[in-house]
Amino acid sequence: MPYDHRSVEPKWQARWRAARLHQTTFDPARPKFYALDMFPYPSGAGLHVGHCEGYTATDIITRWKRMQGCNVLHPMGWDAFGLPAENYAIKTGIHPRVTTEKAIANFRRQIDSIGFAYDWDREVNTTDPQYIKWTQWIFLQLYNKGLAYEGTVPINWCPSCKTGLANEEVTQGCCERCGSGVERKDMRQWLLRITRYADRLLEDLAELDWPESTLAMQRNWIGRSDGAEAIFKVVEPSRVGEGGLRPPEPERGREWEPSQGSHIVDEIKVFTTRPDTLYGATYMVLSPEHPLVDSLTTPAQQAAVRAYQVAARRKSDLERTDLAKEKTGAFTGAFAINPVNHEKIPVWIADYVLSSYGTGAIMAVPAHDQRDYEFASKFNLPIRPVVRPADGHTPAPDQAFVDDGIAVNSGDLDGLSTPQAKAKVTGQLEARGLGRAMVSFRLRDWVFSRQRYWGEPIPIVHCPTHGTVPVPESALPVTLPEVERYQPTGTGESPLAGIESWVKTTCPTCGGPARRETNTMPQWAGSCWYYLRYLDPKAAHEPWSKQVEQQWQPVDLYVGGAEHAVLHLLYSRFWHKVLYDLGYVSTKEPFKKLRHQGTVLAYSYQDALGRYHEMSEIELRGDDAILKATGEKLKVAVDKMAKTKLNGVNPDDVVAEYGADVLRLYEMFMGEFELPKPWDARAIEGCARFVKRVWRLVEEFDEKKAPAGDPLLRLRHKTIKRVTGDLDRMAFNTAVAAMMEYLNELTSSGATREDLLTLIKLLGPFAPHLGDEAWEKLGQPGFLLQVPWPSFDEALTRDAVVTLGVQVNGKLRGDVQVARDAPEAEVREKAMAVPNVAKHLAGKTVRKVIVVAGKIVNIVVS
RNA sequence: GCCGGAGUGGCGGAAUGGCAAACGCAGCGGACUCAAAAUCCGCCGUCCUAACAGGCUUAAGGGUUCGACUCCCUUCUCCGGCACCA
């Protein structure tokens, strides 16, 4: 009987379910393996072949680990808060919960149809009140530690989504979700002090087995810069010597306190990574929002400065960060004293200085900073070189010399190399109380508010007497009220603000009337800790128990898309470290090993008018794609899968046509796991043939006709070794190739029972339905998952007789068969006797013969 | 501009510094068939050749080495990320 996936696959899925085969168990005597997939947002579109790639990889690894005797944890859940469901609710009035539940049911069905071995007893859903409760609980831990605070900051405002965005959600000045230009808008926000963990988030990357690109992205995002703070005293306008209060400490992420002249402005702090160029500072620049601007500005310059501030404020982020644009700025009328040479230099404001980085003010060294150079050129400010190239070459004119070199025109720094000069001048500043070594981070505090309905309410109450008061743990979760309209108000307040009955509450401290916080958490909140809830998904009185945490943490293998390299993966590391400090988790890092699946691309077909056509309308002939209806030859391209390109591949269709095992095999066989690769509707046929041929070999197996002895013993051991090693390296494509080669040989030379059993065991993790069906057919008891992974004998993976290539001067001229352990002299002799080799040796003197055992012989002649 | 990754047949891709192109797709030839599909067998980088034997070939150019797809330097192209971060 030919193999029929339509009956075989559901049969085994039902048997696995009935046997509770995928339920997690824990035996302290065995090693543990925690494999985690990035849980999906259950969208209406359903599962994507991209999801399947990552899920198949972890599924194969966990099945393999179970066969190797590990305790395996392999859970799945739903990142179910999110804008699409809410946007749909705005359009249709259907509650996001309803849409989400439907989408989850569909995802579940799809996932089960592919035969993934998830332990559904541990399913988590971020929108479940019991889950929300602990998300809010963690927020309160952050709040109590002073890591969550309110601030009014200019945030990224998406006019289309009508909500504030985190920095991480803004790409190229546009909303990552909808592409609209992002505006700046002042809003009261909740922020999380991730900056306090910047150093640890950076340092601990060193202990992770993560892709280099992701580590680099995190390092860049955190952006540690070592440098110095320098203090410039302000001498204009005539306020010097009045004494009094210092200006407020600039604190990133906070609203600048307006300086109404109630205190004396007396110094400007700057951050620089090049303190060695201090002698070259010829002017200063404050960001337009800097708190000292008002008090510094002289009456004569006031109008110009105000006008510039207003203009800067009106600019979108996109305009402000446009690199190509000309530098702009305004002079404040004030002057400051350069702390090293006491020179009086002008103070400007300009929007190329960001209020949110460093101290929001810079010393400008136009000779050695390209931005300062452009600004100085435009406004005719002096440019003074204070570093010369160490190799004596003349730096290019018309631009700044930004490399390290030797200090010149710099007083007692002259002649020092850049690192030496940095150290010396920093020490001098420190001694005089005019500066110190300082570290700055690019990372900003995390804007943790969304003005939306479909998210976790922030568990805070605002009391007129007691200010912000956390909701007591006993009153958690704060759940979402039912609403009639889901529209964002567009004023910056969430739809929750309009539900008076929900907003009105009492103060937990004094019992007086109070109002609930109406901001909700961003979608990232739930995904910050879901990997911990899987450990103990039903715990009612704690988020997870200490015991299970110690059993399973950390995650041994985390697989998901590279698009989360700096979002989710940085946020959850931050939360994890806070939980570590509080003693709730025992590891510094949550995810030991991380891998990203490569994007699955697809061929798209475009006609002469630029219209895209679906696969079903097309006939493939060799390299050409022909539109069936008209016979037109179409333009073929490889693109990301997109609705507009009609090139999406739906796993349901693939399962229906070829079956889950073929889908799984092809996903793995397509190419290297971590690289992008195109889905080829023809190439999948190769995997379908492989499955059929395996089945035929098993079905037609006849013990009586099997070859005598064990002719493929060595190949069998080699194959076990290859597949095992490939799984260890997550080289799934070559593992499949090894099994194909083995099958080819079994088909042509004949298989023993042991050969077949081994092939099926190796194949089981990849094609579990075929695996169990064949296992049963061969009369074996139980499920493959309960069978030990085959082992190999290293000695049997090596051939007794090997074929060596024979080179003459590095060029292959023949080969020779020798015993693997033949003495070198014999190999040498036989190699030189090969006729074609001898021909190339004729008349030459042999200088050297290199024999690499089991590999090659190279004869060097001249 | 900076950071990261990648460049190998018609295509997807293999190769701890040791016989480049495994495995698969497509293509070509053959078997089976009334025929087609399915299946099976053979060929399949490129140039020269009747064939044997050769020459060339892993983006380009140099280097190290007996030997380089692999290591080092320079350059080019593509993909991803960041981008006035002082």
**Which carries the bigger pLDDT value, residue A665 or residue A493?**
A665
The helix-helix angle for A753-763 and A732-749 (nearest 10°) equals: 160
* 497-556 of chain A touching strand B, CB 7 A cut-off: none
Nearest nucleotide relative to A670: CA against C1'? B12
| Range name among A473-477, A771-775, A779-783, A834-838 with the lowest pLDDT average | A834-838
> Strand B closer than 7 Å to the CB of A680?
yes
Nearest nucleotide relative to A726: CA against C1'? B14
Question: What contacts A28, CB < 8 A, 6 or more positions away?
Answer: none
> Strand B closer than 7 Å to the CB of A195?
no
* 258-287 of chain A touching strand B, CB 7 A cut-off: 271-274, 287
**Which of A131-147 are b and which e, b meaning 16 or more Cβ less than 10 Å from the residue's Cβ?**
bbbbbbbbbbbbbeeeb
Q: Please determine, for residue A261, whether its predicted confidence score (pLDDT) is greater than 80.
A: no
* Length A834 CA → B19 C1' (Å): 15
Q: Assign A74 a pLDDT band (cuts: 50, 70, 90).
A: very high
Average pLDDT over residues A115-124: 97
Average pLDDT over residues A13-33: 96
Q: Assign A317 a pLDDT band (cuts: 50, 70, 90).
A: low
Q: Please determine, for residue A26, whether its predicted confidence score (pLDDT) is greater than 50.
A: yes
Q: Which pair of tokens denotes residue A685? A: 């046929």
The number of residues in chain A equals 862
Placement of tokens 């352990």 in the chain: A821
Helix (H) or strand (E) holding A427: helix A418-431
* Length A618 CA → B10 C1' (Å): 20
Written in H, E and C, the secondary structure of A648-669 is CCCHHHHHHHCCHHHHHHHHHH
End-to-end CA distance of chain A: give it in Å, rounded.
65
Q: Which pair of tokens denotes residue A537? A: 């998904």
**What pLDDT is stored for residue A249 in this prediction?**
35
Helix (H) or strand (E) holding A859: strand A856-861
- What are the residue ranges spanned by the domains of chain A? 224-440, 600-648, 686-796, 799-861
Q: What is the CATH number of domain A600-648?
A: 2.20.28
Q: Any idea which architecture A686-796 has in CATH?
A: Orthogonal Bundle (1.10)
> Strand B closer than 7 Å to the CB of A747?
yes
Q: What whole-number distance in Å separates Cα of residue A180 and Cα of residue A176?
A: 8
C-alpha angle A528-A55-A565 in degrees, rounded to nearest 5: 40
- Percentages helix, strand, coil for chain A (3-state, rounded to 5) are 40, 20, 40
Q: Name the percent of chain A lying above pLDDT 70.
A: 93
Q: Assign A241 a pLDDT band (cuts: 50, 70, 90).
A: very low
Nearest nucleotide relative to A171: CA against C1'? B82
Average pLDDT over residues A835-852: 87
Contact (CB, 8 A) for A359 and A269: yes
Q: Is A212 exposed, middle or buried, given 0-12, 13-18 or 19+ CB atoms closer than 10 A?
A: exposed
Q: What whole-number distance in Å separates Cα of residue A602 and Cα of residue A684?
A: 13
Placement of tokens 């605002």 in the chain: A462
**What pLDDT is stored for residue A264 in this prediction?**
40
* Length A671 CA → B14 C1' (Å): 10
Dihedral of alpha carbons A392, A397, A402, A406, sign: positive
Each residue's pLDDT tens digit, A623-656: 677 888 888 888 888 888 888 888 889 999 999 9
> Strand B closer than 7 Å to the CB of A225?
yes
Nearest nucleotide relative to A738: CA against C1'? B23
Placement of tokens 């020490």 in the chain: A427
Cis peptide before A781 (omega within 30 of 0): no
> Strand B closer than 7 Å to the CB of A623?
yes
Average pLDDT over residues A599-621: 84
* Length A843 CA → B57 C1' (Å): 29
Average pLDDT over residues A263-279: 85
Q: What whole-number distance in Å separates Cα of residue A418 and Cα of residue A420?
A: 5
Phi, psi of A774 (to 5 degrees): -70, -40
> Strand B closer than 7 Å to the CB of A690?
yes
Pairing of strands A224-234, A267-272: antiparallel
**What pLDDT is stored for residue A188 in this prediction?**
87
Q: Which nucleotides of B are covered by protein (CB under 7 A)?
A: 3-6, 10-15, 18-20, 22-27, 38-41, 53-56, 66-68, 79-86
Cis peptide before A237 (omega within 30 of 0): yes
> Strand B closer than 7 Å to the CB of A722?
no
> Strand B closer than 7 Å to the CB of A731?
yes
* Length A623 CA → B9 C1' (Å): 14
> Strand B closer than 7 Å to the CB of A566?
yes
Q: Name the percent of chain A lying above pLDDT 90.
A: 66
* 54-113 of chain A touching strand B, CB 7 A cut-off: none
The closest of A669, A672, A703, A707 to A686, measured between CA atoms, is: A669
> Strand B closer than 7 Å to the CB of A780?
no
Contact (CB, 8 A) for A573 and A26: no
The closest of A318, A7, A38 to A179, measured between CA atoms, is: A318
**What pLDDT is stored for residue A173 in this prediction?**
65
> Strand B closer than 7 Å to the CB of A693?
yes
* 440-479 of chain A touching strand B, CB 7 A cut-off: 440, 442
* Length A49 CA → B29 C1' (Å): 37
Average per-residue pLDDT in chain A?
89
Q: What is the CATH number of domain A799-861?
A: 3.10.20.590
The DSSP result for A82-136, as a single string, is: -HHHHHHHHHH---HHHHHHHHHHHHHHHHHHTT----GGG-EETTSHHHHHHHH
Nearest nucleotide relative to A566: CA against C1'? B81
Nearest nucleotide relative to A736: CA against C1'? B23
**What pLDDT is stored for residue A398 in this prediction?**
84
Q: Assign A323 a pLDDT band (cuts: 50, 70, 90).
A: low
* 812-831 of chain A touching strand B, CB 7 A cut-off: 812-813, 815
> Strand B closer than 7 Å to the CB of A811?
yes
Amino acid at A179: G
**What pLDDT is stored for residue A773 in this prediction?**
96
Helix (H) or strand (E) holding A440: strand A435-441
Average pLDDT over residues A102-116: 97
Q: Please determine, for residue A52, whether its predicted confidence score (pLDDT) is greater than 80.
A: yes
C-alpha angle A603-A608-A609 in degrees, rounded to nearest 5: 105
Placement of tokens 């190419």 in the chain: A671
Q: Please determine, for residue A331, whether its predicted confidence score (pLDDT) is greater than 90.
A: yes
E strands in A243-354: 267-272, 283-286, 330-337, 344-349
Each residue's pLDDT tens digit, A688-701: 999 999 999 999 99
Average pLDDT over residues A316-323: 65
Each residue's pLDDT tens digit, A449-507: 888 899 999 999 999 999 999 999 999 999 999 887 787 777 777 888 888 999 999 99
Q: Please determine, for residue A788, whether its predicted confidence score (pLDDT) is greater than 90.
A: yes
Domain range A224-440, its CATH number among 1.10.3470.10, 2.40.50.140, 3.30.1360.80, 3.90.740.10:
3.90.740.10
